[in-house]
Amino acid sequence: MALAWTCLVVEILFLISTTQGKLAESTVFRPGTLPDTTAGAQVHAHGGDIFAVDTDNGTLFHWYGTTQKLQPGWISEGIQIYSSWNLADWKHEGVILHNRDITGIPYRPPYRIERPKILHNAGTSKYVLLFHVDTPAFEYPAVGVAESSTLTGKYTWVRAFKPDGRNSYDMTAYQDADGNAYLIRSVENAFLGISPLDDDFHDTKGLCSATAQAEAPAVFMPPHPSFFNLFIIGSHLTGWSANPALLFQTKTPSLCDARVWLQTSPARGQGSESTFESQAAAVFPFFYEDGEVLFIYMGDRWNAFGPGSVGNASYVWLPLLPTPDGSYELVYYSEWSPASVKPMLQAAKRWSWRKAVALWWTRLWYMASSWCRWLHAVSAGLSPQSVRLPPMRHSLMHAAE
Ligand SMILES: *[C@@H]1O[C@H](CO)[C@@H](O)[C@H](O)[C@H]1NC(C)=O
Ligand SMILES: *[C@@H]1O[C@H](CO)[C@@H](O)[C@H](O)[C@H]1NC(C)=O
């Protein structure tokens, strides 16, 4: 009898522990909404990302981004962070950096604060916050750095710098599974430049790869790639107006080894011409209970021409689903959950003739692009290993330090 009771209690505990982890799998996302916090305020975390922390109680998601953008100039007062066990009920954890904390910029405050990203530095045991800092009129395009010994802050201002001595606009920071950290940013608004970060993540160590012109970069790396190892979603440069997203893909396993970036458009179906009225902020890997991963696209709907304009910007979260040719596509659902798209992930794994043929085409295309790149480099007298950077625009060179 006692044994039966023990079994029942253990089973109930087991049920509770497994349902806890599964909470977020059934969370329903509705693109174009601005969720409320558990205290009833709007969640303002624009241009940000998710930082997931594994705890004994399951995954605790942290969503951070800029505070509401305000006129004049659509400037944010700071960067703030929220936490949730299920990606639906968000608790405000506080403002982690204020606009007034920023110093050392040769222009008067307030400053433009855009696209914050947080990395954990195992060497210094610090959380490092990197973001695009600028004047309201974009006169000092730089990267702001702040750090804290806890994720939820408060962060201490470190400095503003121009990575590798060049103007830096939209940016993201990415840390791969080996802990290598990179800054990916729009250099002079001419191309996306990739530079490894130094030991304390306060500086860059020189450009090592570049894509074509894009802004709003977001990096993701599938744990079991079917062809491409690395992806960067970005957008064209059309201000607050939405445009069709770009997807840069490469086969090399590290951001700095990437010599060839094949470019495509990931959004599919009706609304794809405006990426469903959104621009990428980040892509975060969502792990199901069984270890399967779903890449969730976090976009900002800037709402420049809608009621309340940019001050009423909302979010567009959508699944990135694998395609037969080894890439990913962004598909629109007015309502969806990780659970509702899981059958699509499983179907994509199955072998089919269509997939085999598509993958061979991708292989051929990639090989041809690599050869062309090599031929171009050799005929231009460059070493095939050199990074060929797109030319800088002269008007902007003067603004660079
Ligand atoms: C543990 O997680 C559940 C949701 O899975 C949450 O409701 C609860 O508050 C968490 N407990 C603690 C101590 O944080
Ligand atoms: C924000 O946008 C929503 C959806 O378009 C609209 O219903 C709401 O009235 C807007 N809020 C403001 C303050 O304009």
Spell out the domains of the chain, with CATH numbers in brackets. 2-389 (2.115.10.20)
Q: Cis before residue 72, ω within 30 degrees of 0?
A: yes
Residue-wise pLDDT tens digits, 71-92 = 999 999 999 999 999 999 999 9
Instruction: Please compute the mean of the pLDDT values over residues 372-389 and round it to a whole number.
Output: 71
CA of 318 from ligand 1 middle (Å) equals 26
Protein residue with least CA distance to atom 4, ligand 2 = 307
Residue-wise pLDDT tens digits, 119-145 = 999 999 999 999 999 999 999 999 999
What per-residue confidence (pLDDT) applies to 388?
55
Note the ligand closest to the C-alpha atom of 32: 2
Which of 43, 312, 314 to probe ligand 2 with, by most ligand atoms within 8 A of CB? 312
Can you tell me which atom of ligand 2 is nearest the CA of 308? 14
What per-residue confidence (pLDDT) applies to 10?
42
Q: Name which of 171, 204, 202 is nearest 188 in CA terms.
A: 171
Which of 20, 55, 93, 152 to probe ligand 1 with, by most ligand atoms within 8 A of CB? 20
Torsion of CA 260, 236, 348, 254, to 10 degrees: 30
Q: Cis before residue 154, ω within 30 degrees of 0?
A: yes
Tokens of 369: 């692009």
Q: Answer yes or no: is the C-beta of 311 below 6 A from any ligand 2 atom.
A: no
| 365-376 CB burial, b ≥16 within 10 A, e <16 | ebeebeeeeeee
Protein residue with least CA distance to atom 5, ligand 1 = 20
For residues 29 and 36, give the distance between their C-alpha atoms in angstroms, rounded to a whole number.
13
Residue-wise pLDDT tens digits, 258-282 = 888 999 999 999 999 999 999 999 9
Instruction: Please compute the mean of the pLDDT values over residues 39-55 and round it to a whole number.
Output: 97
Protein residue with least CA distance to atom 2, ligand 1 = 57
For residues 341 and 294, give the distance between their C-alpha atoms in angstroms, rounded to a whole number.
9
Q: Is the pLDDT of residue 254 over 90?
A: yes
Q: Answer yes or no: is the C-beta of 264 below 6 A from any ligand 2 atom.
A: no
For residues 27 and 46, give the distance between their C-alpha atoms in angstroms, rounded to a whole number.
20
Residue-wise pLDDT tens digits, 226-243 = 899 999 999 999 999 999
Q: Name which of 154, 61, 73 is nearest 113 in CA terms.
A: 73
What per-residue confidence (pLDDT) applies to 4?
52
Protein residue with least CA distance to atom 11, ligand 2 = 308
Band (pLDDT 50/70/90 cuts) for residue 12 is very low
Note the ligand closest to the C-alpha atom of 313: 2
Which of 55, 61, 85, 86 to probe ligand 1 with, by most ligand atoms within 8 A of CB? 85
Band (pLDDT 50/70/90 cuts) for residue 297 is very high
Share of the chain above pLDDT 70, in %: 90
Tokens of 364: 């051929």
What per-residue confidence (pLDDT) applies to 384?
54
Q: Is the pLDDT of residue 390 over 70?
A: no
